[in-house]
Amino acid sequence: MHNLWGIFKVDFRVITAVLLAVAVVALCFSAPYISSAYRRSAGRTVVIDAGHGGADGGVSGVRTGVKESDLNLAMSKIVGEYLESAGFNVVYTRKNEKGLYSALAANKKRDDMEKRAAIIKRAEPAAVVSFHMNTYSSPARRGAQVFFDGSSLQGKLLAETVQDTLNREFNLPDTGREYSALKAEKYILQCSPYPTVIIECGFLSNAIDEKNLTDSEYRAQFGYAVFGALAAFLYVQA
Ligand SMILES: [Zn+2]
């Protein structure tokens, strides 16, 4: 009996030692991998595009008349700050209320969009996120929708990652309805080879969405969800 206990004691110590050794070896191999993947993803560039600006205010709020261009800018700054604080390099297409077009341009919208494309191409980013606010003929329509270019597999993956997050954290709890990320033929999606999404954050034709999106606390929560989805996408790509 005494000897038997002795054997068990030895065995237990051996098993513990083996388990510890396995854990240490696993950590030694996984920690450098995790940290280098993190470094590779964290140092990458993201272009944040606040849609519209200047004379082009985009759509406006049904209750307050708030301009889409101003809300796009506010959301861009929030997401950009989260990305910067996590170590990503952020390039903004605009950081104030002005459009990018030249006052002398014959076609200001075209000039504005081409300047955004030039910024994206110069940045050679790992991802591009363009913020917009939606509108619809039925005032009941609510929620966040994400769009991508059909020819971009990476754009589709990024769009689905962001859409899934926004469905889980906002669309389903707030409205009981989820959206699929959708293909769209838009200049900003097609002007560069980099993975690009348009996020329509909500409908300014709906009074509740408008109320939420004009609230800075809601924008911070929404922006943090977008940041989390972006970081997950960039981490996988690293
Ligand atoms: Zn827009």
At 92, is the secondary structure helix, strand, or coil? Answer: strand
Rounded CA-CA distance 172/142 in Å is 11
Rounded CA-CA distance 48/89 in Å is 10
Centroid of ligand 1 to alpha carbon of 133 (angstroms):
5
**pLDDT interval class at 221 (50, 70, 90):** very high
pLDDT for 62-105, tens place per residue? Answer: 999 999 999 999 999 999 999 999 999 999 999 999 999 999 99
Centroid of ligand 1 to alpha carbon of 59 (angstroms):
7
Every domain of the chain and the residues it spans: 1-42, 44-237
Centroid of ligand 1 to alpha carbon of 40 (angstroms):
32
**pLDDT interval class at 36 (50, 70, 90):** low
Note the CATH architecture for domain 44-237: 3-Layer(aba) Sandwich (3.40)
pLDDT for 3-23, tens place per residue? Answer: 555 555 556 565 566 666 665
Centroid of ligand 1 to alpha carbon of 205 (angstroms):
13
Centroid of ligand 1 to alpha carbon of 130 (angstroms):
9
pLDDT at 236: 84
Task: Tell me the two tokens of residue 200.
Answer: 């329509």
pLDDT at 21: 62
Centroid of ligand 1 to alpha carbon of 26 (angstroms):
49
Centroid of ligand 1 to alpha carbon of 47 (angstroms):
17
Place of tokens 């396995």: 22
- Is it the case that residue 34 has pLDDT exceeding 60? no
pLDDT at 41: 66
Could you give the dihedral angle defined by the CA atoms of residues 41, 43, 46 and 48, in that order, rounded to the nearest 10 degrees? Answer: 130
Rounded CA-CA distance 116/234 in Å is 22
**pLDDT interval class at 43 (50, 70, 90):** confident
Centroid of ligand 1 to alpha carbon of 100 (angstroms):
15
Rounded CA-CA distance 135/205 in Å is 5
Could you give the dihedral angle defined by the CA atoms of residues 65, 68, 69 and 72, in that order, rounded to the nearest 10 degrees? Answer: 140
Centroid of ligand 1 to alpha carbon of 94 (angstroms):
14
